[in-house]
Amino acid sequence: MSRAPEFVPLSDEALRAVAGANSRHAALIEDAFGVLLETPGGGVSLSGDAKSRGAAKKAVQAIAARADHGLEIGEADVRVAIGQARSGAPAANPGAGNALPIGRRGQVAPKTPTQARYLEALNRNELVFGLGPAGTGKTFLAVAHGAGMLLRGAVDRLIVSRPAVEAGERLGFLPGDMNEKVDPYMAPVWEALTDILGAEQLRRRREKGEIEVAPIAFLRGRTLSHAFVIVDEAQNASRAQMKMVLTRLGEGARMAVTGDPTQIDLPNPRDSGLAHAVGLLEGVEGIGIIRFSSEDVVRHPLVERIVRAYDADAARVGRTV
């Protein structure tokens, strides 16, 4: 039986995105679906059996839609599009109005439907919990959303906090003063802010007091008004710390709380305040709760496989997360 190639028309921008530098993106699509992808001009030609062509076409169209909306396409975007085409899950709509017009490399936009729901929840609610494994973008998107609010004057300050909890190490043994001791725990947040704002704008706004990154303990006794507050790695906050930080919200403030309930570094995991808070507050007006899964992992593809393996192990021993 003849397997006639299927031609998918694309704009020049979308065609470059689908092909990728040195045809890297095209090679990923070919390997994933067992098809031959060629670029004769004006679009791509897909050769293979009908089922494989159909799945590859969905991935190509999802990548093209993002490129046509002016979004930068990297390998992570291609892998997400491939995964969604394989599973039949709907792609995140880049034209749904949930892209953030900030970022050194252009807009920050959701890569998965769960990420899109997360950004919608951040827009709609005063308090949002983002729960799920590493690499799902829950912290990065919260930082991008908060930076966007700061840049357009919706809030006066962006405050990012996380517990300074040692994962098998001792904070007191680190050299330097208190700022130097806690800085390693804040490094992922500084990296996200630098990626979104650029080093120079971050430096200026930090010096003006518009951006603050600090351990949770530094928030005690304060009222955080007209600020967007992010509590990162919240699974390592105790119940008392969680209650304290949630009640810091003042006039005109909003908050995002992110964490992975399976990665608790506290001596007694039962002391974690994240799951406790979610259980108490789910369904309360003004509070949104978004749960990410391994399908939302947008880091290295190996991260998704690692998360799935640990999820399977937890299921075998009857644990719930």
Write down the mean pLDDT value for the chain. 85
Q: Give the number of other Cβ atoms within 10 Å of residue 74's Cβ.
A: 17
Summarize the confidence of residues 160-178 as an average pLDDT.
58
Supply the pLDDT for residue 246. 95
Above 60 in pLDDT, residue 29?
yes
Q: What is the pTM of this model?
A: 0.77
Residues 6+ away with beta carbon under 8 Å from 26: 18, 19, 20, 37, 39, 44
Supply the pLDDT for residue 310. 82
- Max distance between CA atoms of the chain, in angstroms, equals 74
Top-confidence residue, 3 or 123: 123
Supply the pLDDT for residue 4. 77
Q: Which domains does the chain have, with CATH numbers?
A: 6-87 (3.30.1370.10), 113-316 (3.40.50.300)
Percent of the chain with pLDDT over 70: 85
Confidence of residue 47 (pLDDT cuts 50, 70, 90): very high
Supply the pLDDT for residue 176. 52
Summarize the confidence of residues 153-158 as an average pLDDT.
94
Summarize the confidence of residues 160-173 as an average pLDDT.
61
Summarize the confidence of residues 190-198 as an average pLDDT.
85
What sections of 198-262 are H helices per DSSP? 199-207, 239-246
As given in the structure block, the two tokens for residue 46 are 């897909």
The helix (run of H) or strand (run of E) holding residue 215 is strand 211-215
Distance of CA 292 to the CA centre of its chain: 9
Supply the pLDDT for residue 170. 47
Summarize the confidence of residues 234-253 as an average pLDDT.
94
* Cα–Cα distance, 129 to 113 (Å, whole number): 16
Above 70 in pLDDT, residue 101?
no
- C-alpha torsion sign, points 131, 135, 139, 140: negative
**CA–CA distance from 123 to each of 97, 166, 289, 290 (Å)?**
11, 33, 13, 13
Supply the pLDDT for residue 169. 41
